[in-house]
Chains A and B, each alone.
Chain A
Amino acid sequence: MLAAGLIVFREMLEAALVISIVLAATRGVTGSRLFITGGAITGLAGAFLLALFAESLSDAMNGMGQEVFNAGVLAVAVLMLGWHTVWMSRHGREMAAEMRAVGSAVSAGSRPLSVLSVVVGVAVLREGAETVLFLYGILASDGDSLLATVTGAGLGLVAGAAVGALLYAGLLAIPTRLLFGVTSWMVMLLAAGMAAQSVTFLSAAGVIDVNMDPVWDSSAVLSEDSLPGRLLHTLIGYIDHPAWPQIIAYALTLAVIAGAARLVSRQPARPAA
């Protein structure tokens, strides 16, 4: 029971953190909850499908289907997060002003909520499929009773959601004036971490042939396997023994998104502050 709970907790943690950041980034935006819930439900359905076809996916592309798939969906999430950040940097200030003017809710307008829907869906899809396969394994091997497994999984799910809720509550404590800035940085760091992870999968698949020797090893100080290590891995892309290709992907993603955001925020016909 405990084993089931721990694994579900670990897998769900990443999805919960991503959802919390997206929820905080869209606080008070009409329709955002609908898009996020939609993304999560679609992702969950996708997770079951993915688990069902896990064998075909594994066998695809000379046995490298899983890696290529993971690299692909992570890359999609990076693009969506980048697009959203750039869009927000152009319209965020007006929206913040509007939010203060009308109270809390603002209309979504042309805000690309579907983009965030995809990000949430992808997070749930990846972690969910692994959870489904794991639970199937436990039930099939009947080492544990159905009740114990379900209880364990339920506890893990609640614990994962609780950490996500804590992060969300923490973000909500930030004044609206600063919230846009904070969440857009969190979204950018999330994207950078995912880009680094995508590179890891591409190298594992042999799609790119790069030197993956660690540049440093800080696993003795903060192991990626520890709970704080896992949290930081998801939130800011912490890797305890990163290689140059991962560092470059990380830095490049940050630079491109931040650069593009700065560029479009300077462009509009708005007098300089």
Chain B
Amino acid sequence: MRLLTATVLASTLLTVTPALADEPTYTLTIKDHVFEPSRLEVPANQKVTLLVKNLDTTPEEFESKSLRREKVIMGRKELAISVGPLKPGEYSFMGEYNADTAQGVLVAK
């Protein structure tokens, strides 16, 4: 446990590059465990930021194997997720905690 604490402390010292200001940002909202929009078009071959807004009161885990992202977004919170550069194609994502309803596709063009 001490090692874990040390890791956390050490990692806070790392500077993390914030999402670049010139990265185009697209908003995804989660409401009643459904993504809006459920199909989102983004430009291919460049980094884009997905601003995921969770309007529900419960946490949701944004997960996408194809985008290699998994991130918990707490209730009534929003988080930026930087993805790409993506090759043209479709990339599915889901809310793991409510996978029957929270499904979506990112379309890189």
Interface residues of A, Cβ cutoff 8 Å to B: 3, 7, 42, 46, 54-55, 58, 60-64, 66-69, 71-73, 75-76, 118, 121-122, 125, 130, 133-134, 136-138, 140-141, 200, 203-207, 209, 212-213, 219, 224-225, 240-241, 243
Complex partner residue of A133 from B4, B14, B72, CB under 8 angstroms: B72
Complex partner residue of A76 from B7, B16, B57, B96, CB under 8 angstroms: B7
- A-B contact sample (19 more), CB < 8 A, given A66-B71, A213-B87: A3-B100, A7-B97, A46-B1, A55-B77, A58-B72, A66-B72, A72-B11, A76-B3, A118-B4, A121-B1, A122-B4, A134-B61, A137-B59, A138-B97, A141-B56, A204-B82, A209-B17, A219-B65, A224-B65
A-B residue pair count with CB separations less than 8 angstroms: 108
CB <8 Å contact, A69 and B8:
yes
Complex partner residue of B96 from A7, A72, A75, CB under 8 angstroms: A7
Chain B residues with Cβ below 8 Å from A73 are: 4, 7
Chain B residues with Cβ below 8 Å from A137 are: 58-60, 75, 97
The count of chain B contact residues (Cβ–Cβ below 8 Å) is 39
Interface residues of B, Cβ cutoff 8 Å to A: 1, 3-4, 7-8, 10-12, 14, 16-19, 56-61, 65-66, 68-69, 71-75, 77, 79-82, 87, 96-100
A62-B16, A69-B8 are known contacts. Are A130 and B72 too (CB-CB below 8 A)? yes
Chain B residues with Cβ below 8 Å from A207 are: 14, 16-17
